[in-house]
Amino acid sequence: MRGYVPKYQLITPASLDEALAILADEPGVWKPFAGGTDLMVLLESGNLHHHNYINIWPLTELRQIEVSPQHITLGALTAYTDIQANPILRSEFPMLCQAASETGGLAIQNRGTIGGNIVNASPAADSPPALLAYDAQIELTSRSSSRWIPYQGFHTGYKKMQMGADELLTRIRMSRKTANCYHYYRKVGTRKAQAISKVCLAAVGSTLDQRITDVRIAFGSVAPIVIRCLRTEDALRGKTPGNQTTQLARETLVNEIAPIDDIRSTASYRLRVATNLLADFLEQLQLH
Amino acid sequence: MNAKQTLSLKVNGQSRTFESYPMARLLDVLREEFALTGTKEGCGEGECGACAVIIDGHIVNSCLVPIAQVSNANITTIEGVAQEEQLHQVQQAFIDHGGAQCGICTPGMVLAAVDLLARNPTPNEAEIRNGLAGNLCRCTGYMKIFESVVKAMNR
């Protein structure tokens, strides 16, 4: 049953500074509320247990995309529609654009934000695998400080994050060094739009003289968190793509991920599809 | 318990000032406060698009929008698509080509198509399908809906 609406508070600060001040003055009392595409679903099912929210959606300072020669930096409120429309993201970070285009439908993409997708901390989220494969960094800001940390390692367990109650995820940054990479993003769900993934792979790789020089592999929906598969990457680095390498990658991956049975799929299906996607990525990388 | 707040916004060109709890769904305010019952509730969780409205030029599911987030916004519902007696080309095409069956998905489908054609007056097949991808029709009359949009585009 829907949560009782009068019990919920949603206040709108005039600025980012004011939002940070509210978070700092009463730590844990207030939580940020962005596009609402996840939180309103919880409200509807009666599972929105926290009651006091700060409406950060109108803070346009968090919706900018900044480009420098080294980086592209996205405000945390950048919506999926904004991501798909950005020419630099389209040409240099295509997996992020594809993730954005395969999240929900247009009405969701107009409201869903990249920052919300991160801090909602779903292991089935669509953009985090791409962010992990692109080695993204995230900025956490409080009233008194601001820090950039690698996105990898931010999620420490199911719905757990390295983030203080007074901190807000403000920006996401990626290095513009993807020019020679092959990018592979594949979300497997029940239908093309409006589906939550059963398995999702985002991977980038590059080869030199038929050897894998650089490879980054991230999966969604196969562990309690969206996971970067460092052991599989280590096993692949320096190898020549081919049947033997693919077999080694499959065996390593099986020991690195821990899919479960749930409402959307089964552990055995996910394991099989995950290893098949990895094999497909390596085959495409070889042809690249 | 929190107090109701006084909020203002514009619906179909008309200014409205009203009292509401900030987390009230836009969908409920439209239907219950403004009696604009053309906006339908399907799933209530952003999956089906039956409650779609256009907020400041963007198609959005009104079941997922707390009313405090549309303070001072400009909202178009299905009731605001026709210009007085003159139906929108998308509405006329849905009538002429069997785009509506039971009718529950129709307001959302029409708004999705209106939004699509406003952004892209000559969409290709893939763009039409993508534009309608967030709207589910449980009568499964998708081809008629798709054809209606094609016909509306050519009007």
**Which of A175, A196, A224 represents a domain boundary (last residue)?**
A175
Task: Starting at the earlier edge strand, list the strands of the sheet with A65-67.
Answer: A65-67, A71-75, A168-175, A137-141, A146-150
Tell me, what CATH number does B40's domain have?
A: 3.10.20.30
Closest CB from B2, B66, B134 relative to A107: B134
Residues B32, B72 within the same domain = yes
Residues B56 and B116 in one domain: no
Rounded CA gap, A79 and A18, in Å? Answer: 22
Overall size of chain B counted in residues: 155
pLDDT digits (tens, 9 = 90+) for B44-91: 999 999 999 999 999 999 999 999 999 999 999 999 999 989 999 999
Q: Within a domain: residue B83? A: no
- Whether A179 has a pLDDT exceeding 90, the answer reads no
Do B73 and B11 reside in the same domain of the chain? yes
Q: Are A202 and A99 in contact (CB under 8 A)?
A: yes
- Is B149 inside any structural domain? yes
- HSE at residue A245, side-chain half, CA atoms within 13 A, is 21
ipTM score assigned to the predicted complex:
0.97
Residues B70, B103 within the same domain: no
Q: Which residues is A219 bridged to in the sheet?
A: A201, A227
| Same-domain pairing of A146 and A227 | no
The pLDDT assigned to A8 comes to 98
Question: Would you say residue B148 has pLDDT above 90?
Answer: yes
Tell me how many domains chain A contains: 3
pLDDT of residue A90: 97
Residue A35 belongs to domain with CATH number:
3.30.43
Number of residues written out for chain A:
288
What is the domain-level CATH number for residue B96?
1.10.150.120
- Give the C-alpha separation, A109 to A83, whole Å: 9
**Domain hosting residue B37, numbered range:** 5-78
As a whole number, the mean pLDDT across chain B is: 97
Phi, psi of B41 (to 5 degrees): -100, 120
Residue B1 clears pLDDT 80, i.e. is over it: no
Q: How far is B79 from chain A (nearest CA, A)?
A: 19
**Number of structural domains in chain B:** 2
pLDDT of amino acid A280: 97
Contacts of A236 (CB under 8 A, 6+ apart): A205, A212, A215, A245, A248, A249, A282
A50 and A94 co-located in one domain:
no
pLDDT for position A87: 98
pTM of the model: 0.96
Which of the listed residues B78, B97, B127 is the one where a domain comes to its end?
B78
Of all residues in chain A, the one with the smallest CA distance to B44 is A44
Picking from A223, A225, A202, A221, the residue whose alpha carbon sits closest to that of residue A99 is A202
What average pLDDT does the segment A212-218 reach? Answer: 97
Tell me whether residues A8 and B21 touch, CB distance under 8 A. yes
How far is the C-alpha of A203 from the C-alpha of B119, rounded, in Å?
32
- Determine the pLDDT at residue B2: 83
Assess if residue B84 is contained within a domain: no
The distance of Cα B83 from the centroid of its chain, to the nearest Å, equals: 16
Final residue of a structural domain among A125, A154, A175: A175
Query: Once rounded to an integer, what is the mean pLDDT over residues A31-43?
Result: 98
**CATH number of the CATH domain containing A150:** 3.30.465.10
Is pLDDT at A229 greater than 80 in this prediction? yes
The string of pLDDT tens digits covering residues B30-41 is: 999 999 999 999
Q: Which domain holds residue A271?
A: 182-287
My answer on whether A162 and A203 are in the same domain is no
List, for residues A233-287, the tens digit of each pLDDT value. Answer: 999 999 999 999 999 999 999 999 999 999 899 999 999 999 999 999 999 999 8
Give dist(CA A94, CA A83) in Å, integer.
10
| A→B interface, C-beta within 8 Å | 2-3, 5-12, 33, 35-37, 40-41, 43-45, 53, 55, 57-58, 81, 101, 104-108, 110-111, 192-194
**d(CA A150, nearest CA chain B) in Å:** 31
Same domain, B39 and B70: yes
Write b or e for each residue in A146-169: b if 16 or more Cβ atoms lie within 10 A of its Cβ, otherwise e.
eeeeebbebbeeeeebebeebbbb
Tokens read off for A136? 């993204």
What is the pLDDT, as a whole number, of residue A258? 93
What are the backbone angles phi and psi of residue B82, rounded to the nearest 5°?
Answer: -75, 150
Q: What is the pLDDT of residue B88?
A: 98
Q: Convert the pLDDT of each residue in A43-90 to its tens digit.
A: 999 999 999 999 999 999 999 999 999 999 999 999 999 999 999 999
Which one of A55, A77, A92 terminates a domain?
Answer: A55
Contacts of B66 in chain A (CB under 8 A): 10, 33, 36, 40, 55
Q: What integer pLDDT is reported at residue A45 of this predicted model? A: 96
Average pLDDT estimate for A156-162: 95
pLDDT at B3 over 80: yes
pLDDT band at A192 (very low <50, low <70, confident <90, very high): confident
Buried b (16+ CB within 10 A) or exposed e, A247-272: eebbebbeebbebeeeebbeeeebbe
CB B18 within 8 A of CB B74: no
How would residue A194 be classed by pLDDT, with cut points 50, 70 and 90? confident
